Amino acid sequence: MADEDGDTIFGKIIRGDIKGPPFLHEDDKCIALKDIHPQAPIHFLVISKQEIKTIDSINETQKELLGHMMWVATKVAKDQGATNGYRIVVNDGSDGGQHVFHLHFHVLAGRKMSWPPG
Ligand code: 5GP
């Protein structure tokens, strides 16, 4: 979901327009915060600070951001106590099941994941 200007709930959270629980991580490129509707005992999101709608729209000059966000995902997963593995998911576009059109990774842990995903 996004306004006509492309702003989403994640843009508002990052700018501090909406107050919520403290971020699990913040740096100049991304934040991590707990998902409001957790699908596992540990479920947090790594969200880019740049307003990028989809991973598919990433261009070559932005590609290092993806590696950085993946690295943050692994760091925060450890901090959150994901000692037995975890799953990192990007829902992209309509068929990918994306709802918030602002680049983010889901990190899920604390239960056994099934495959294939639904
Ligand atoms: P998507 O379907 O776009 O991959 O995932 C969006 C995720 O954002 C969902 O898991 C949803 O629960 C989460 N979410 C939506 N609004 C909020 C919010 O205001 N705060 C937080 N922490 N998570 C949100």
Write down the domain spans for the chain: 9-109
pTM score, whole prediction: 0.96
What is the pLDDT, as a whole number, of residue 13? 97
Q: In the CATH scheme, what is the homologous superfamily, with its name and number, of domain 9-109? A: HIT-like (3.30.428.10)
Ligand 1 contact, 35 CB (< 6 A) = yes
Residue 46 dihedral angles phi and psi, to the nearest 5°? -105, 120
- The string of pLDDT tens digits covering residues 22-43 is 999 999 999 999 999 999 999 9
Contact 16, 65 (CB under 8 A): no
Distances (CA, A) of 107 to 7, 9, 64: 23, 19, 19
State yes or no: is 104 an active-site residue: yes
Residue 90 CA to ligand 1 center (angstroms) comes to 12
| Token pair for 46 | 């790594």
**pLDDT interval class at 5 (50, 70, 90):** low
Prior bond of 38 cis (ω within 30°) = no
Residue 32 CA to ligand 1 center (angstroms) comes to 12
Contact 104, 46 (CB under 8 A): yes
